[in-house]
Structure 1
Amino acid sequence: MAYYGKCIETVIEQLNKFQPEKDSPEQFLEATSTALQTLSPQKQAFILELLSGCLEYRKLMAVVVDAFYVRAGWLCPRADYSLFQVICYLAMFQLQELGFQLFCDIVKAQPVDKMHKFLGFFFNPLNLCSWIKDEWSLIYETAHVKENWIDPLMRWQPEVQELIHQLEEVMANQLPLSKTKARVTEPKEFNLTVPRPRAIPVPEPVPVVAKSKPVPRSTYQPPKEQQLLEMAKRFNRWKAEELLLQANIEEMRCAVPRSQGKPPMQASKKKLQLQLMPQIMKTSKLTFYKPSEVPVKLNTAAILREGSLYQQQVEKELQRVDQLVDGAGDFSEFLEWQKKMQAKDREEELTVGECRRLLGKLSREEAILARQHVMQENKQKANQKKEETAELLQQCAERRLQEEKSMKELVEQVTEAQKNIKLVQMKLLKDRRQTVQEVMEESRELLQRSAETAKEEQKRRCELISQLRALETQPMRKGKLVDLTQIPGYGLEGEMSVVELRERLALLKESQRREEEEKRDQIIQGKRARSQELQNRMEQISLCRAAMGRSAALRWEEKKARSAAPGVSSQDERVLELQRKVEEKVAERRRKQATLKSVPVPAPAPASRPARTKAWAHQEQQHWRDLQQSRERRLRTLQLSTSAAGHGRRQEAA
């Protein structure tokens, strides 16, 4: 008996050491077998078999033991968890091999009250056949669980019940332990030294702060460079407006035909001149100063981008020179032909614009005719709608009479139903009184049960407190001294002491510092070379900018001379045809309007007609104004496109 008791104690000790998160079962069994070399082979085999079985089926046993602690084993300490696992494994897997008598001896050698509670909980038929079977079926198949574990445990029920009865008799025969009063600790005062009185510190002198300088006035004033830039902007804007006014006057004089649209064009031209003349008169009285050139700071990307652009232009120029040296032709004839074709395109665009304007006017006249036709149709539809609404109102009146009759019938039915409500209310009151009495009785029973459970909980807490105080009185293990120069000896590769590790880390930090210094020196040298390269690029860019400025000034003079030349107005057959159609539509509209005036109209019509004609006149004026603005915008875009095309051709020719 002592043989099996010691084996079970060693198994419980090893199970307490096992940590499933860190240790693997195979390595843990190998380490345990090496530690049990001093025991006999029989003991070693029995312990390893028990230990391997508990580790392999720990999920099954955890279901039973965890539920035991929750339901029946409140007072059992958590340190006996491994003991209950071993007893559960013996009952499930080793009961047939050991024999029931040996199993009884092993159980009786353990604490009687704990074994009585655990076996009564585990071999309860209700627990085995209900939730234990269901929980085990989630881990293994149901047929396997029933055949190998549930049925054998149910067959051993009579013998196990006798064993539980014997344990109960042993517990009854035991003498109750005498409760010794716990020794109360007596507090003692500390023998502390009386501190010396603190000396009063000497007050420190107040530091004299130096008087701060006042904020300079330049902080709240804009910089001088910004003022110079604003002056330059105003001067350039004034020059551009003056040039644009001159170009618009010359081009509008050539582009607009005199047959149609003469009054609105002249009015718009005069209006534009009247709007811009006060500005020109004001600006002529001002004195402008040409600002000095303000240097613009460029970043690295802008410098490299501009340098690559100028480099590409130089390469193209060199290629063109090489082609001319090899015998390639000149582009002068092609450029002259291109200018002629562009002039034709501009004339075609102007005619197309005039056609669009006439088409818009034609569509407007057609829309006015269609609106007059729609007004006549709307009058007819309004008369039809009035007749239909009268019929609908008559139908609604008949429907309301029918609804009033149905509502009267409903009111009579409701009054009859209210008479029977009082009888139903009396029955409901009786039923509610009976339910209230039943609820009161149930609440009294629940209060009694809760009081009993509170008493049992208080007893359980007292037992737990006594067990915790007993555990607190046990001596604690003291810490172990650590030698930093000693190698741990775990058998790992490259194992070293803490002192050696610190020295190696210091050497590694020193090497990293040297590498960082070398890299820093390389980066500084690269930055210097880069800055020198950027400086050379900036010198090249300044030279290229000066050359491009001279070429731009020449192009501007050519453009100014070309814009001063008067344009030739062209008339096309399409434009004449559209003008003829517009005149016909206007005549037709006036005839129809005269016929509408001759037709007698109702009284409110004269008051609304002038307002409508005024609105149409306002719309017509707005339409002509929009056409004038669109024509001006189109002329500006044509000028910009022609200047950009000429600039590109001159660059290619250069």
Structure 2
Amino acid sequence: MVKMVSHGKHIAIIVQQLNKFNPENQDMEDFLNESAKLLQTLNVTEEKFVLDTLAGCIEYKSLLDVVVNAFFVRDGKYCLISERNLYIAICYLATFQLEELGLQQFSRIVKSLDTAKMQKFLRFFFNALYLNTWIKDEWSKFYDSPYVKENWIDPLLRWQPKVQRLIEQLTDKLNNRTTTVKTSRVTQPEEFNLTVPKPRAIPVPLPIRTLVKSLPVPPSTYKPPKEKKQLEKNRTKNYRKAQAPLLKAAANQFKCVTRKPEKEEDTDDTMESKPAIQAQKIQSKIDNIPIKLNAAAILREGALYQRKMEQELKRVENLLQGARDPSEFLEWQKQMRGKDLEEQLAEIECRRLQGKLSYEEAVLAHRNVVQENKKKADLMREEKAELMHQYAEKRLQEQKEMRELVEQVVEGHKNAKQAKIKLQKYKQQIVQEVCEENRELLRQALEEEEEKLRKRYELIQQIRAIASLPSLRHKFVDLTETGGHGLICEMSIVELRERLALLREAQKAAEEEKRDQIIHEKQAKEQLLLEKLDQISMFRAELGRAAALKQEEKKRKSQPGERLMKDERILNLQKKIVEKTMERKKQAGLLKITPQKSSIAWRKDSLEWNRWKELEESRERQVKILQHGLMARETAQKTAAFEAARRTPTAHVLHSEVK
């Protein structure tokens, strides 16, 4: 039996080490070795207990996880996940170490921990129903069922009544802790022992004073003063005096002179005629703006006119030489197109038949493929059945091997401690051998480094000795001599300079020649552009003359009728305007009675009317003169163009092109 003093301390160490263990990155043996180094402060018995418990918790982790996971799901819903390793350690001690520890030692370990947690876990774990049902079934998944029942379940069931007493003790302890409540003495209130106050004395009444009788209010207080009434009378009187001249001034207002609406309309007409004349002048200026041509536009237009001339000349030459009738060629072309069409139709029909044939072949091939697939499917089913039979046999063989392996593992667990000790000694031996080899390698490396340093030192001494020898620092150079390398193309520096000078002169001459060539090309291009401009101006003049002739002929035909129509239209409009004005005046005379004017006012109106009439007539004369001048200038230009076109022999050709 193991005797320990501080049970809670050892369990805390076990839980702490289990929290540090990571099965993915650490090996169990290395972890136990590290833990043994940390537990050197404990004595041999305590260290052995802690290490055995750690090894068992790690080795049987899968079995212990079954119980602890179920505990957290059912009874330990409100327990902390961080205390999981605590329950694993208690479960391991109860399952595997209870026989060795004994109930008394196990009770001390349990009582040294939290009473509520241990009571809840032990009540869950030592439940006979759970042990016989799902715990047994879950553990049987890892080990054989008879082995589980014989080695683990039956011992737990034997210890269950005794552990039940321990659970009852823990329960009583919890109940006593909760029921023992300190009863404090209730304070009883008592009355204060106060002195009784003396009764107050009745005060002596104060004497009542007699008031002096006041005078009555005078009647003038509630009456308005006479001065106020007098002021109101004066105010109304002054208001009436001021209102009389105001009414008189409003009745006799100033009379303003106003123009007649007829004259205003006339002035508006004259003012509207000014923008029309200005618009005509601006339009004539815009039409005469010259367009500047660049080199590309000049060449493009020249090529266009040149192409037109060539086409016209070619057409004339063909006509002079006699063109043939293309009817025979068209007939032959029609026949050939018919033949091509027949060939195309035959080709289409052939393709259609080929498509039909390929369709039939595809149907047959599909049926053959379906039959082959059926045969392959039958073969695959047979192979599958055979493979399933082989797999079943293999599975049975694997199960047998697994059982044998489990038995071997169980036997190996018994000798695990001895194997661990042997393995530890073997590792220590390997470490010693490796350390000796490292020392030997370090010694050899040091010797090699010393040899290298010695050789370097000797080499440095030789270099310094060579450097200390005197040397000639001045070297005489002859620029006329070659390098003496034995090459055919060798030359001295003087010859090289001469050749470079010759090359520079040749380069300058080439540049001058290139510059002269560019200047000549530029001049030739400018001359070509000037010639093209002359040609374009000539063509434009000819085209303008032809267009002017055509326009003049059109105007000759249409001008008299238009003028008559224009004149008749204007006269009709003027007549209508006069009639409308007369009607308006008559209506105004009937609706409105005009006041009688004095002779002076009548003369003034008549003079003003005459002046406005003269202004209108002068404006009309100016407009007519301007229109006549513009028309005369246009006719003069057109006649000049017509005469120039008649003089030139090519005018008729251009005129035909314009048409």
TM-score when scaled to structure 1? 0.28
Q: Which is higher, the Rg of structure 1 or of structure 2?
A: 2
| Structure with more contact order per residue of length (Cα contacts < 8 Å, sep ≥ 6) | 1
TM-score when scaled to structure 2? 0.28
